[in-house]
Amino acid sequence: MMKHEQLAEYVYWIGKIDDREVPFHRLVLTKGTTYNAYLLKTDKPTLIDTVDFQFAKEFVNHLSQLIDPKEIQYIVVNHTEPDHSGGIAALAHRAPDATFVCTEMAVDELKEMYRLQNRQFLVVEDGDTLDIGGKTLKFKETPYLHTEETMITYSIEDKILFPCDIFSTHIAIEELYNDEVDMTDDFLGYYQAIIHPHRRYVKTLMEAMEELDVQLIAPSHGYLIRKDVEKFVNLYAEMSADSDCNKKVTIIYTTIRNNTRKIAHIMQEKLEEYNIEVAVFNADRADHDEILDCVAEADAVFIGSSTKYADLIGGLEDVLKKLKEINLEGKIAAAFGSYGWSGEAIEVIQDYLKETNMNVQTTAQIIKTTGMTDVEFPIRIRFSPNDNQVKKIEDSASYVADLLRSTI
């Protein structure tokens, strides 16, 4: 069912209520969901987000009851995932003069997804404003909340925030606002499933929220929040807060020309920025019993080796064999190393780690559970880490730090 409702002067919600059990991010949304789009019927009519791809035609037909699509001047795309950008498939040719407003990263995605190579784009950055003829929109980039290209849009005159996925709930509601319902459980469930894997980026969002006077949060799924706005914003801050408890990481390595040692120390520095206690051991120099005692106390273990003759080097294998005999349940583990040709040692370490009962990090698992593609495990660095690789190592260390410091 497609509906619309006026939220403020010239501001309309146009929503598709999807009351099926919707497959989504390897979940099944048992309560369904809604896809909320918004029309600001100002002198320069502006659409903020659309609906799921499969409802694109229905959306455009419904939108046409409110406005001739030809009149639309701007289509703001806060997030390119097709459950919000999907309406563009049917709308783009019906709104030939519309300019697409989005982050720089979203431009190529939209061009590819909807064949918009010949269309006009307006790239916006943090703090940019756009006069839409009677109202002013302000934009804030919110990378990784929950994909890299995302942003939020704020209508200054209306004090309405359009944050797309952020502050959403997955529920096929008939009532638009949260006035009469306790939506807390659904709100928390959505946060945990979609936002929490990216919790380290929530801090940036919270800083932006402090600068905005928000009277209504108009997200792209579920309830529009006008009751207890502050409470729901604060829930994001609380759930993404770091835990106070002390965490420990042990890093063990062997190295030929100090490149694997460099990786170990880049990780150490990054982890220490998060107030995590880090012990670093060269397995060729340290006492192995001391290393194993430290592992037993650690919350996470990184193990790395350079590769020589397609194998591990030095005394690391002795440590790895002993790890298999210890109960390491609940600890996070990851492999790393510098290599020149194929990096077999890193994969051998990974195999050893998988034989323990630790939670071994892999790129595949991270993509499947979070959608993040900037974090890679095992960490494989060819020769000495260059600037891009240093960032890659730091991002991976930060990811583990986040896992350790998560309060939920």
Q: Please report, as ranges, the residues that interact with ligand FEO according to CB under 6 A.
A: 79, 81, 83-84, 146, 165, 220-221
Judged by DSSP in three states, 216 sits in: strand
CB of 188: closest distance to ligand FEO in angstroms?
A: 17
By the 8 A CB rule, do 45 and 72 touch?
A: yes
Of 193 and 390, the one with the shorter C-beta distance to ligand FEO is 193
- Find the residue with minimal CB distance to ligand FEO: 81
Measured CA to CA, the distance from residue 114 to residue 100 in angstroms comes to 12
Q: How far does Cα 81 stand from its chain's mean position?
A: 12
Of 163 and 314, the one with the shorter C-beta distance to ligand FEO is 163
Measured CA to CA, the distance from residue 331 to residue 298 in angstroms comes to 7
Measured CA to CA, the distance from residue 282 to residue 119 in angstroms comes to 56
CB of 34: closest distance to ligand FEO in angstroms?
A: 10
Of 173 and 323, the one with the shorter C-beta distance to ligand FEO is 173
CB of 113: closest distance to ligand FEO in angstroms?
A: 13
Among 37, 57, 56, which Cα is nearest to 48's? 37
Of 84 and 380, the one with the shorter C-beta distance to ligand FEO is 84
CB of 84: closest distance to ligand FEO in angstroms?
A: 6
By the 8 A CB rule, do 260 and 336 touch?
A: yes
Of 220 and 398, the one with the shorter C-beta distance to ligand FEO is 220
Of 50 and 220, the one with the shorter C-beta distance to ligand FEO is 220
CB of 152: closest distance to ligand FEO in angstroms?
A: 13
By the 8 A CB rule, do 168 and 81 touch?
A: no
Of 32 and 315, the one with the shorter C-beta distance to ligand FEO is 32
CB of 295: closest distance to ligand FEO in angstroms?
A: 38
Measured CA to CA, the distance from residue 321 to residue 316 in angstroms comes to 9
CB of 169: closest distance to ligand FEO in angstroms?
A: 11
By the 8 A CB rule, do 152 and 161 touch?
A: yes
Four-CA torsion 59, 65, 68, 72, nearest 10 degrees: -50
Judged by DSSP in three states, 229 sits in: helix
CA atoms within 13 A on the CB side of 356: 30
